């Protein structure tokens, strides 16, 4: 480094002018980037706030207190919690299987896990219509037992689980892979049970990766629109999630209410971003610690 | 190597969970679709996918997704560069903000963007004065797709740029290369791979995107009816065959993007190895 600076000295005779153009380039790039983000992201957020409160606080609170909005909030919460819980169990099992064992077809298994990412949400919804709708081979059986999947809550939950399926598995797998198998193998040889190994060795090692996946999964589950829209049938007060409720309000030109309900999701999105940044910071700190 | 798998317990249990879960949630719905689609005769399929309204739909989706991915490649590279190379106040905020499209529900983004870009909107009024209709047009669809695609390129390029070896740049500077020449000849070639993969991700997301686009598109058949919306419309008319045909075309498109990306990455790796 010393040598480089020494060598660079004579070349830098015109340093001040060189620095000046560099400063100009630097700030014009920063300002272009900032302007892009302001137009594409900050303005929409400000607009949501302005529109939501456009008719005053009372109208805002009334829109949130409306029974259909509350029902939609509950259904979104239900679908989100069920997706996160079931995808966490699956993600842990998949990560354990893929990182602790060698077997044939591992790559294929990985591709199947990633499949929901490659499929458009609307097409994903279509899959479930084909499986449980009136074209389904099980349709008569389902009808006979009065089990409604499509155009009902189970369909919404299944579609949400499908689109969020890879998030948690994909967040844990690299962390577990980085940890290797040594600690678990040692514990197993000393006679620890599988559960004990998992709770006392694996889980503490992967907890931030798991948190990261749960945050991503939550964000996607609460906002899922395309897949849920296909399977929901848009029945107000029954199969409406928050995003679908927003769509109905907007299409009825009830803009204040649409943006008021949106503001809840904006608040949750900002919370997600803050948590995500915090978890990322913790993961980096852990890496530094180990090095 | 074979023995290590036997030391750690839980193989059968996790294998059982994973296979049961994936079969029930991924393979079963997928095969229900494939089963139905394969029932369609070749003639029916060709008639469906070559229908003018359909062709218009996926060409529109394809074109807007491509335009948005190109815009995102430019701004994603710029944002990644600014965040890695410079220090300035508000940098952390900028870094966090890039992920907003991942966290914000698409329907919320959709109605906010539409309200901004309609003729009386905060931004729309300027565009309409210039004679550019931003809402209910291909321009509007592209704007919405730019929004959802921003994180992909920036987040693929950022880590690679961060890990770039500074000595090559120093060498180029000492040899008398200007900043721009150094960027073009030394830095850019290193960034091509993440740039391409970010581009492909943004592009394939754009083809399938629904929530943020439906509102700003306006959904006029033969004009602003995107492919995912065609599926919705056909389903509402209980025309399952047409919906399945569009879905097959869309699946083929995203598969193609993935294959091309995979092939390209393999080619780059081979060239680097050689």
Task: Answer yes or no: do A34 and A89 share one domain.
Answer: no
Measured CA distances, B117 to B98, B111, B139, B215 (Å): 21, 10, 10, 11
Nearest to B208 among A113, A121, A277 (CB): A121
Task: Answer yes or no: do A173 and A29 share one domain.
Answer: no
Q: Quick one: tokens of A171?
A: 């967040």
Task: Answer yes or no: do A48 and A72 share one domain.
Answer: no
pLDDT in tens, B81-98: 999 999 999 998 999 899
Fold of B62-225: MetI-like fold (1.10.3720)
pLDDT in tens, A175-229: 999 888 999 999 999 988 889 999 999 999 999 999 999 999 999 999 999 999 9
Residue ranges making up the domain that contains A22: 1-52
**Cβ neighbours of residue A106 under 8 Å, at least 6 residues apart?**
A98
B116 touching A (Cβ < 8 Å): yes
A196 touching B (Cβ < 8 Å): no
What is the distance of C-alpha A96 from the center of its chain?
22
Is pTM beyond 0.80 here? Answer: yes
d(CA B216, CA B88): 35
Task: Answer yes or no: do A184 and A250 share one domain.
Answer: yes
Is B108 in contact with A48 (Cβ distance < 8 A)? yes
Task: Answer yes or no: do A222 and A273 share one domain.
Answer: yes
Q: Report which of residues A284 and B150 the model is more confident about.
A: B150
Task: Answer yes or no: do A23 and A76 share one domain.
Answer: no
How buried is A183 (Cβ within 10 angstroms: 0-12 exposed, 13-18 middle, 19+ buried)?
Answer: middle
d(CA B43, CA A277): 53
Q: Are B205 and B146 in contact (CB under 8 A)?
A: no
Q: How close is the nearest chain A Cα to the Cα of B174, in Å?
A: 7
pLDDT in tens, B17-54: 999 999 999 999 999 999 888 888 888 889 888 899 99
Task: Answer yes or no: do A34 and A167 share one domain.
Answer: no
What mean pLDDT value characterizes chain A?
Answer: 88
Sign of the C-alpha dihedral, residues B94, B98, B102, B104?
positive
Q: Are B93 and A33 in contact (CB under 8 A)?
A: no
Q: Are A47 and B112 in contact (CB under 8 A)?
A: yes
CB atoms within 10 A of CB A25: 12
What CATH number is attached to the domain comprising A159?
1.10.3720.10
Task: Answer yes or no: do A153 and A37 share one domain.
Answer: no
Number of Cα atoms under 13 Å in the Cβ half of residue A29: 22
Where residue A233 falls (left for φ over 0; alpha for ψ -120 to 50; beta otherwise) is left
Q: Which residues of B touch A262 (CB under 8 A)?
A: 107-108, 111-112
Task: Answer yes or no: do A264 and A280 share one domain.
Answer: yes
Q: Are B261 and B197 in contact (CB under 8 A)?
A: yes
A142 touching B (Cβ < 8 Å): no
Q: Report which of residues A172 and B238 the model is more confident about.
A: A172
Number of folded domains in chain A? 2
Q: Does the pLDDT of residue B140 top 50, yes or no?
A: yes
For residues A240-274, b (16+ Cβ closer than 10 Å) or e, as one string? bbbbbbbbbbbeeeebbbbbbbbbbbbebbeebbe
Give the pLDDT of residue A36. 96
φ, ψ of residue B262 to 5 degrees: the values are -60, -45
């Amino acid at each position: 480094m010393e040598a480089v600076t020494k060598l660079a000295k004579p070349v830098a005779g015109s340093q001040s002018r060189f620095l000046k153009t560099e400063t100009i380039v630097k700030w014009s790039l920063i300002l272009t980037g900032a302007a892009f983000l302001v137009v594409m992201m900050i303005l929409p957020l400000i607009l949501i706030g302005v529109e939501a409160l456009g008719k005053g606080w009372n109208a805002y609170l009334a829109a949130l207190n409306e029974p259909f909005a509350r029902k939609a909030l509950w259904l979104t919460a239900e679908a989100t919690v069920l997706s996160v819980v079931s995808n966490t169990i699956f993600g842990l099992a998949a990560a354990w299987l893929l990182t602790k064992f060698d077997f044939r077809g591992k790559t294929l298994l990985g591709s199947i896990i990633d499949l929901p990412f490659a499929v458009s949400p609307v097409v994903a919804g279509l899959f479930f219509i084909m499986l449980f709708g009136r074209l389904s081979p099980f349709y008569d059986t389902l009808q006979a037992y009065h089990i409604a999947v499509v155009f009902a809550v189970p369909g919404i939950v299944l579609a949400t689980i499908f689109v969020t399926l890879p998030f948690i598995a994909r967040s844990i797998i690299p962390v577990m892979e980085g940890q290797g198998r040594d600690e678990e193998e040692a514990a197993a040889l000393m006679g620890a049970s599988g559960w004990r190994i998992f709770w006392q060795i694996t889980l503490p090692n992967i907890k931030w990766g798991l948190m990261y996946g749960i945050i991503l999964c939550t964000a996607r589950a609460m906002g899922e629109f395309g897949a849920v829209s296909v399977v929901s049938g848009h029945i107000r007060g029954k199969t409406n999630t928050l995003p679908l409720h927003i769509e109905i309000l907007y299409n009825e030109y009830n803009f204040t209410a649409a943006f008021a309900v949106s503001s809840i999701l904006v608040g949750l999105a900002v919370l997600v971003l803050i948590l995500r940044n915090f978890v990322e910071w913790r993961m980096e700190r852990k890496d530094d610690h180990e090095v | 190597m074979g023995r290590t798998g036997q030391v750690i317990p839980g193989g059968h249990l996790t294998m059982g969970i994973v296979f049961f879960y994936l079969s029930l949630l991924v393979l079963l719905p997928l095969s229900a679709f494939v089963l139905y689609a394969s029932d369609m005769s070749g003639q029916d399929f060709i008639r469906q996918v070559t229908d003018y309204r359909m062709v218009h739909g996926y060409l529109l989706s394809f074109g807007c997704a491509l335009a948005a991915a190109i815009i995102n490649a430019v701004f994603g590279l710029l944002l990644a560069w600014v965040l890695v190379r410079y220090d300035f106040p508000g940098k952390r905020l900028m870094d966090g903000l890039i992920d907003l499209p991942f966290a914000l529900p698409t329907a919320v983004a959709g109605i906010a963007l539409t309200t901004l870009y309609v003729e009386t909107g905060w931004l729309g009024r300027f565009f309409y004065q210039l004679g550019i209709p931003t809402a209910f047009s291909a321009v509007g669809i592209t704007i919405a797709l730019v929004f959802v695609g921003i994180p992909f390129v920036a987040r693929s390029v950022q880590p690679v740029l961060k890990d770039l070896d500074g000595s090559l740049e120093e060498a180029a500077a000492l040899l008398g290369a200007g900043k721009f020449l150094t960027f073009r000849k030394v830095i850019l070639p290193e960034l091509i791979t993440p740039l391409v993969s970010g581009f492909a991700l943004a592009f394939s997301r754009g083809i399938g995107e629904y929530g943020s686009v439906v509102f700003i598109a306006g959904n006029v058949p033969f004009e602003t009816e995107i492919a995912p919306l065609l599926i919705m419309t056909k389903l509402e008319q209980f025309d399952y065959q047409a919906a399945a045909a569009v879905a097959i075309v869309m699946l083929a498109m995203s598969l193609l993007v993935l294959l091309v990306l995979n092939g390209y990455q393999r080619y780059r790796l081979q060239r680097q190895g050689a």
